[in-house]
Chains A and B, each alone.
Chain A
Amino acid sequence: MIEIEHLTKRYGATIVVEDVSLRVDEGTIAVIVGTSGAGKSTLLRMINRLVEPSAGRVLIDGQDTMAIPEDELRHRIGYVIQGYGLFPHRTVAENIATVPRLLGWDKRRIAARIEELLDLFQLEPGEFAKKFPHELSGGQQQRVGVARALAAKPGLLLMDEPFGALDPVIRSKAQDDLVAIQRRLGTTIVLVTHDMNEAFQLGDRIAVMDQARLLQYDTPAQLLTHPAEAFVEQLVGTAERPFRLLSLTRVQAALEPGAADGDPILVSESLRDALSRLIWVGRDALPVVDATGAALGRVSVRGILAHGRSIA
């Protein structure tokens, strides 16, 4: 768990981050979103002390980060930046081994960890371990960047626009993969992005920043239905709101008793996907099944629409 308390950064008379407080629970993803120059990267970089705060403090699992030596603190926190900053003179395996080597792990343990991570990120160890970064595609570089950050099993991962350099098709897959890996490892993630869609896709909670201030820190649904300020409302996109809300809700929530004709919808899908299917096949309702294929009921256009309203 990370607690950020009254964190402030000034450069001379300019305030880059002004009195920000927020808490990120263990094993969740917090996304910091805002326009460029809002201070989100500076806020992130104050967590691993790449930027020294002017005031305020950061607690990781209750321990003040100022009490931990800088380098030791960073060994414990994974860090991924846009462009990844892979070491061009080192192989994929050597890149991943960076922090474990600094920590003095023995060779066998490092080798095992490299193999485990490459498997986790769907990079065949035999093929990729010996490759150099310039021999990898953008998507592969991104995965190596995240694998390297996770090498020493940090409890906390900081990511600054980690998908910014990827094309849209690969980006969405990389985002899904990140969430899957995060759920599996239980890593706490703080991620900075300027992309609202990314924030909604990844964030358990979203922090909206503008002009050095934290405007709102809330769950995606709260952000949509109860925006704290006009700027937040504008940023989440008024036209997109109902659809974003639907994509946050599972079919389970709109499940009705009864039957319907047509290809069934999985109960774990989002209402947005269900609605798009209903529109596409031109029906008012479709049957709902669980993962095993057992019928649970049905979902209707009317039922779904009720969940896309501001007073749900």
Chain B
Amino acid sequence: MSARAFALRAAALLLLVLFVTAPGLFAFAFRPLTVNGAPAIYNQGSLLALTLSHLRIVVLATLASTILAVGLGIFVTRPSGAEFLPLSRSLVNIGQTFPPIAVLAIAVPLVGFGEKPTFIALFLYGLLPIFENTLTGLMDVSPQTLEAAKGMGLNPRQRLMQVELPLALPVILAGIRLSVIISLGTATIGSTVAAKGLGEVIIAGLQSNNVAFVLQGGLVVALLAVLIHDGMGLAERAVARRLGRPVDEVA
């Protein structure tokens, strides 16, 4: 990483931390956006607490998506699970095509308001990128490498753990990263069903016609997304470099 790129990232991180811990410092920048003496900085709760619960639900949902999607990806690439490949693909695709807002509408009557419906929506929405990348990663392992592994007497489990998964890891990580980024943005709509998160700030702004609030919520989500995207990208590249095939620099 060049010194300039590093400085930019450090600045973004500093800005984020300062903003969520002491938003009052930035009041001057948001005041011109308010009308009729409305508050410039979100005042109905702590930004830090909202950011943390936003992150929490994204992490939990992505973790659940990862466990199911990677598990399913492994299962359908085994000889015993191969016939379930088309079925799993369609199921996971449905999860992605169903709009999260519709999932919320269906889930609320079933599980009530709060974090649960948001979790379900994010979980379903996050499956596809991880599942597809797990498939790609596992299927891209060179047949020669697998043949050699088999010929040396690695059993199916050893082949999976020692050869296939390590080689597929960078691609799987890329899928998880994509899923996290999508979830970070999508989680904001969770606030329509009373899940604690940064969506609250945006919705409060929309309801009181306060652009400053909308901008603040959006800014924190955007900074989070950029930083997490970058951080995970670095991890992927580190893994890929070990494999001797550096992935293309992702912006």
Q: Are B144 and A50 in contact (CB under 8 A)?
A: no
Q: A71-101: contact bitstring with B at CB < 8 Å (1 yes, 0 no)?
A: 1111100010111111111000000001100
- Taking CB atoms and an 8 Å cut-off, the chain A residues in 113-152 that contact chain B are 132-135, 145, 148-149
A50 to B143, CA, bound (A): 14
In the bound complex, residues from chain A placing their C-beta under 8 Å from that of B167 are 88-89
A48 lies within 8 A of chain B by Cβ: yes
- For residue B248, CB closer than 8 A to chain A, the reply is no
Interface SS, B side: helix
> By the criterion CB–CB under 8 Å, are B153 and A102 in contact?
yes
- Residue pair A88, B152 in contact (C-beta under 8 Å): no
If the complex has contacts A71-B153, A73-B153, are A85 and B158 also in contact, measured as CB distance less than 8 A? no
Partner of A79, one of B151, B155, B166: B151
A166–B9 CA distance with the chains assembled, in angstroms = 47
Chain A residues 222-243 with CB under 8 Å of chain B are none
Kindly state whether residue B147 has any CB partner on chain A within 8 Å.
Answer: yes
- Interface: B242 (CB within 8 A): yes
Nearest chain B CB to A102's CB is how many angstroms away?
6
* Residues 105-156 of B at the A interface (beta carbon under 8 Å): 142, 144-155
Count of chain B residues with Cβ under 8 Å from any Cβ of A? 21
Could you tell me the distance between the alpha carbons of A135 and B242 in the complex, rounded to whole angstroms?
11
Q: A88 to B151, Cβ gap below 8 A?
A: no
Interface size class of A (residues with CB under 8 A): 20 to 34
Other-chain contact of B151, A50, A72, A83, A89 (Cβ < 8 Å): A50
What residues on B are CB-neighbors of A85 within 8 Å? Answer: 142, 144-149, 151
Residues of chain B having any CB pair with chain A under 8 Å? 142, 144-155, 158, 163, 166-167, 242-245
What are 27 A-B contacts defined by CB distance under 8 Å?
A: A50-B147, A50-B150, A71-B155, A72-B153, A73-B153, A74-B150, A74-B151, A75-B153, A81-B148, A84-B144, A84-B148, A85-B142, A85-B145, A85-B147, A85-B148, A86-B145, A86-B148, A87-B148, A88-B167, A98-B152, A99-B152, A99-B153, A102-B152, A102-B153, A102-B154, A102-B158, A134-B245
